[in-house]
Amino acid sequence: MALQQIVETTVIGLGYDLVEIERSAGGLLRITIDLPWQGHASASEAGVPEQFVTVEDCEKVTRQLQFALEVDGVDYNRLEVSSPGIDRPLRHQQDFERFEGEVIDLVLKAPIGAAGGGQVAANRKKFRGRLERAPKGGEAIWQIVWTDEPEAKPGAKVSKKRLEALPLHAMAFTLQELREARLAPIVDFKGRKSRGEASDSAEAAEPGAEN
């Protein structure tokens, strides 16, 4: 059985979502999991705050994955199961629905060509902006909205009037056009917890593996 299928079957079977699988140097196998999204309406109706993956969740998945990987003879030295960080990848339609309104970083597979009346460089592939629903009428469901104004320094105050006066650009896209999309790693410097909070993780080394 392929690694993707083993991990996906195990993680989903335990009631979690599989976010990402990574193989790193030294035989590290890193698995990122998340709690299933219940939808904006369901959460608000229940009056329950968004829940996050805990260390106990990571440990439970780690134990089950170790067994599944051993049964199928998957070669690795160390297994790490963690929750998504502040740069969580967005891969599926549900991910975009879940994080609508958030600031994201995206990379296109191909340059956009001329867009926004020639205001955007034709060879541009990377963008940072707010994820929004695209206006109805085209095949694209999503768009990213941004301004080319330089980002304010952490802690600097920006007046609301100035923000409203900035020229905005919008680009519609389909998921098939994306090479990569992630939540923008924006940290709250005022002491409040940032989105996604700190990433919990659990690591496990195979017997005989080097530390």
pLDDT, tens digit, 9 for 90 and up, residues 110-157: 987 644 445 677 788 999 999 999 987 677 789 999 887 666 555 555
Q: Supply 95's token pair.
A: 């991910």
Which pLDDT tens digit goes with each residue over 5-19?
A: 999 999 999 999 999
Is-contact 146 129, C-beta < 8 A?
yes
Is-contact 67 74, C-beta < 8 A?
no
| DSSP letter string, 113-166 | -SBGGGTB-TT--EEEEEEEEPPBTBS--EEEEE--SPPPPTT----HHHHHHS
| DSSP letter string, 72-106 | TT---SEEEEE---TT-B--SHHHHHHTTTSEEEE
To the nearest whole number, what is the mean pLDDT of the chain? Answer: 81
- What sign for the dihedral angle of Cα 114, 116, 121, 125? negative
Listing from the earlier edge strand, what are the strands of the sheet with 178-183?
169-173, 142-146, 126-133, 103-108, 178-183
Q: Which residues of the chain have pLDDT under 50?
A: 114-117, 191-194, 196-198, 207-208, 211
pLDDT at 197: 46
54 closest CA partner among 37, 39, 69, 33: 33
pLDDT at 76: 93
